[in-house]
Amino acid sequence: MSAPLDILPVRTGGAAENMATDFLLLQRYPRASAPRFRHYGWHRPAFTFGYSQKFSFVQTQLPKGEHLDVCRRATGGGVVDHRDDWTYALVIPRGHPLEELRATQSYREVHEALAAALRAQGVPATTKQEREPGIEEAAPMGVCFQRAEIFDVLNEKTGEKIAGAAQKRNKHGLLFQGSIWRPATGTPIDWERLNDDFVVGLGAALGVPAEATPWPEFADGEVEGLIEQYSSPEWMEHR
């Protein structure tokens, strides 16, 4: 029988801590065969940006005059504003049928589950089914919530982008880092219910039940060492 989808406890951290933790959940999870999910918060106003983005560009997209916690992600994608979002990470282990799909198709499966959880609370959420070059090119390149890509979650009524995600694939599996922009939902949300509905939908997409699980034990100093790396100027500015 396949391992269940492990639902980890909610934690709040700084930008480097959150990004380091997500990466370790891909690299070092004790139950390597188990898909794993976590929702988390932010200690301070935060922005993250994609692994391949130039730091000089990112700096032009940050609001002026604010003290922000900024970190490069291990995943791709654009600049993400976390000041009013709902953030999650999902790891699908190597060899799982959903991990073996093309990137756009696994992205679609995750966002269909998320859109269904939003619709359960009256949000007119849908996934973007077609590329529209004229519209996509009108927004600044590399800014997540100013530009909707194929299979992002949209507000069908307003056309606003509600949710996007970034991915990293390696020999251990596939890491999704996803974000819901709360103001784009257009309606009050019970976020605990959304979390519960979303993980049930993810479990259905993965073909396994979702089960709460304790936080994993990493090696002594492993988390701290990676946080230090993700906080370093070399990591932040290496592009």
Q: What is the pTM of this model?
A: 0.92
Q: What is the mean pLDDT of residues 89-99?
A: 92
Architecture of the 5-94+165-237 domain: 2-Layer Sandwich (3.30)
* DSSP 8-state secondary structure symbol assigned to residue 53: S
Distance CA 175, CA 36 (A): 10
pLDDT confidence tier of residue 132, bands split at 50, 70 and 90: low
Cβ count near 85 (within 10 Å): 21
**Above 60 in pLDDT, residue 136?**
no
More confident residue, 233 or 100: 233
Burial group, residue 135, by CB count within 10 angstroms (0-12, 13-18, 19+): exposed
If you search the block for the tokens 């190597």, which residue do you land on? 94
Distance CA 141, CA 127 (A): 20
Contact 164, 178 (CB under 8 A): yes
pLDDT confidence tier of residue 99, bands split at 50, 70 and 90: confident
Share of the chain residues as helix, strand and coil, in percent rounded to the nearest 5: 35, 25, 40
pLDDT confidence tier of residue 205, bands split at 50, 70 and 90: very high
Q: What is the mean pLDDT of residues 212-224?
A: 91
Residue ranges covered by each domain of the chain = 5-94+165-237
Residues 4-50: pLDDT tens digits?
A: 999 999 999 999 999 999 999 999 999 999 999 999 999 999 999 99
With CA atoms as reference, report the closest residue to 166 among 185, 156, 154, 151. Answer: 151
